[in-house]
Chain A
Amino acid sequence: MKQKIFVFLNAIGIFAALLLLWQLVIWLGHVPPFMLPSPWRVFRVIAERFSSLAESFEITATAATFGLLGSIVVGVAIALIFAQSRWVRRMFYPYTLLLQTVPIVAIAPLILMWVGAGWGAVTLIAFIICLAPIIANTTQGLISVDENLIHLFLMHNASRGQLLLKLRLRHAVPSLFVGIRISAGIAVIGAITGELFAGSTSVGRGGLGYSIIYALQQLQTDYLFALIVAATVLGFLFYFVVSFFEWYFLHKWHESARTPEVE
């Protein structure tokens, strides 16, 4: 317990020191507020414009959530197809790599052109960017089942369905979560990137990405900082929610979720 308090105080201390450093840079360098607002100003603008901040937060969170959920559903479905045969994997796996390597900023304008500005385009961009890690990790989990376990199932004349549901899919859950954890991080990035291009259909109101552009144009640097804080909080939130589900599903049996006895 004592140790926990110590760690907590440490974290607070480092945070305070960083804020102080930030303030010092402003004082010593005579940086004007439109270039770098003081921490205090950022706090104040967060409080003052909390409702519009919360609205942007919600819009971005929704797009990222649906993008991520969609990618999980579609990604697992594709992984199931890939797991059926080596031949299918050879044919189509390279295209998932393509999905991963194509820079999303490059195709965002295209998507904007095809589906039009607004939440649809943003969700689609988040979805696309999330897809590859889900497919890759789930496929890996589905095909890396110990041969003896497959033999065990075959000895009991298990059907294809039983092999899939009771063995392969269950075995793939930890790998699926590895994919989800990666995708959860980039879902937020994807949604914000999407919003930079295709954020809103009405002037002045939109998700975090859209508002960042808007604040920049208006030279509202303090609000811009508030938006960055909100984006960071959203990223953390995603991470914690996913970690919770991972813990919930795996802690009873999986090695990764075991509390280490030696550090």
Chain B
Amino acid sequence: MRGDAASQFSREYAVPQVELSSVSKQYGNGRAILDSLTLSIAKGEFVSLVGPSGCGKSTILKLVSGLSPTTAGEIHVDGMSPENARETMSFIFQEATLLPWRTVRQNVGLGLELERVPRERRHAKVNSLLDLVGLSHVGEAYPRELSGGMKMRVSIARALATGPRLLLMDEPFAALDEISRDRLNEELLRLREEQKWTVIFVTHSVAEAVFLSTRIVVLASDPGRIHADVAVDLAYPRTAELRASPAYEQKVIEISRLLRDARSLAESGA
């Protein structure tokens, strides 16, 4: 299904990498979580989803990854159904979700192991990834011996091991202190320069969203829908200095205002 020329063509040029058309979601017979949401994300975009708690951000990632089925509407990733496109994606969760009984090295190699990649290729890949995230010196350590930031790096290395083209990140740095978070943000952008994935990134931090993204989608809740869809036209590569620039601050203020609107919309019951 993946190899033929026609679908290759359509995937690269015509079809957006991720497309949600009129997607609705309801858990069981509960209230509507998402209502007729349409969103398309092109190859190479870094899209952040921000919105009030409970508006359905995590749900969107679960739908895109096929971990949870849609109630109505369609989702295509690379022109395929989410289940079929899984090997092109990696999911990074809020907690590092490492397997505590595996060493750092074994954790990073987990995805490759599950996909039955031969041992030598796996080792080589794991080594280069540990280098990439600066954890070569703790390869044999167990997760409980690591700091929160290091665990998150392991989690990122593990996600990158299978060579994804789409990263789904659900508040990956929320549990970290601000300094580690800023550092990891910068590292993430540096890695993206090399690897060019598409990213859907959920966060509660507007500053983080602005720093990272090419585009920010502000969601309103009950039911979840798009309140604003804003391009972030700040040039890459973005470095720590960007955080002091007026253009950046301007953007943070703009998005914060939109987020406040979205929130008050929800509270007034509209």
In contact, B114 and A153 (Cβ under 8 angstroms): yes
Please, how many angstroms separate the alpha-carbon atoms of A157 and B95 in the complex?
Answer: 21
Our pick among B67, B93, B100 for the contact of A254 (Cβ within 8 Å) is: B100
In contact, A253 and B91 (Cβ under 8 angstroms): no
Contacts of B4 in A (CB 8 A): none
A233 adjacent to chain B (CB < 8 Å): no
Q: Which residue of A lies closest to B164 (CB)?
A: A155
Q: List 15 A-B contacts (CB under 8 A).
A: A146-B97, A148-B93, A149-B99, A151-B62, A151-B91, A152-B97, A155-B67, A155-B111, A156-B115, A166-B114, A167-B99, A173-B101, A253-B101, A253-B144, A254-B100
A30 adjacent to chain B (CB < 8 Å): no
Complex interface residues of chain B between 99 and 115 (CB less than 8 A to chain A) = 99-102, 110-111, 113-115
Please, how many angstroms separate the alpha-carbon atoms of A252 and B140 in the complex?
Answer: 11
Our pick among B62, B101, B102, B114 for the contact of A157 (Cβ within 8 Å) is: B114
Contacts between chains A and B (CB distance < 8 A), count:
55
B208 adjacent to chain A (CB < 8 Å): no
Please, how many angstroms separate the alpha-carbon atoms of A156 and B90 in the complex?
Answer: 8
Please, how many angstroms separate the alpha-carbon atoms of A146 and B96 in the complex?
Answer: 12
Please, how many angstroms separate the alpha-carbon atoms of A130 and B162 in the complex?
Answer: 44
Our pick among A151, A157, A254 for the contact of B115 (Cβ within 8 Å) is: A157
Contacts of B162 in A (CB 8 A): 156
Complex interface residues of chain B between 105 and 148 (CB less than 8 A to chain A) = 110-111, 113-115, 142-144
In contact, A154 and B97 (Cβ under 8 angstroms): no
Tell me the dominant secondary structure on chain A's binding face: helix
Q: Which residue of B lies closest to A159 (CB)?
A: B114
Please, how many angstroms separate the alpha-carbon atoms of A255 and B145 in the complex?
Answer: 10
Please, how many angstroms separate the alpha-carbon atoms of A220 and B179 in the complex?
Answer: 75
A10 adjacent to chain B (CB < 8 Å): no
In contact, A155 and B89 (Cβ under 8 angstroms): yes
Taking A156-B115, A167-B99 as given, write out 20 further A-B residue pairs in contact, using a Cβ cutoff of 8 Å, ordered by the A residue number: A148-B95, A148-B97, A149-B99, A151-B65, A151-B91, A153-B114, A154-B86, A155-B86, A155-B91, A156-B110, A156-B114, A157-B87, A166-B114, A170-B101, A173-B101, A252-B142, A253-B100, A253-B102, A253-B142, A254-B101
Shortest C-beta distance, A201 to chain B (Å), equals: 46
Q: Using a Cβ–Cβ cut-off of 8 Å, how many residues does chain A contribute to the interface with B? A: 21
Complex interface residues of chain A between 157 and 172 (CB less than 8 A to chain B) = 157-158, 162, 166-167, 170
Q: What size tier do the contact residues of chain B reach? A: 20 to 34
In contact, B90 and A155 (Cβ under 8 angstroms): yes
Contacts of A156 in B (CB 8 A): 86-87, 110-111, 114-115, 162
- Interface, chain A (partner B; CB < 8 A): 146, 148-149, 151-158, 162, 166-167, 170, 173, 252-255, 258
Q: Which residue of A lies closest to B158 (CB)?
A: A152
Contacts of A153 in B (CB 8 A): 114
Shortest C-beta distance, B176 to chain A (Å), equals: 17
Contacts of B89 in A (CB 8 A): 155
In contact, A154 and B67 (Cβ under 8 angstroms): yes
Residue of B91, B93, B99 contacting most chain A CB atoms (<10 Å)? B99
Contacts of A149 in B (CB 8 A): 97, 99
Please, how many angstroms separate the alpha-carbon atoms of A158 and B114 in the complex?
Answer: 6
Closest 3 CB pairs between A and B? A156-B114, A253-B142, A148-B97
Please, how many angstroms separate the alpha-carbon atoms of A170 and B106 in the complex?
Answer: 14
In contact, A157 and B99 (Cβ under 8 angstroms): no
In contact, A151 and B67 (Cβ under 8 angstroms): yes
Contacts of A253 in B (CB 8 A): 100-102, 142-144
Shortest C-beta distance, A238 to chain B (Å), equals: 25
Please, how many angstroms separate the alpha-carbon atoms of A8 and B43 in the complex?
Answer: 69
Please, how many angstroms separate the alpha-carbon atoms of A103 and B41 in the complex?
Answer: 65
Shortest C-beta distance, A162 to chain B (Å), equals: 6
Contacts of B115 in A (CB 8 A): 156-157
Complex interface residues of chain B between 36 and 73 (CB less than 8 A to chain A) = 62, 65, 67
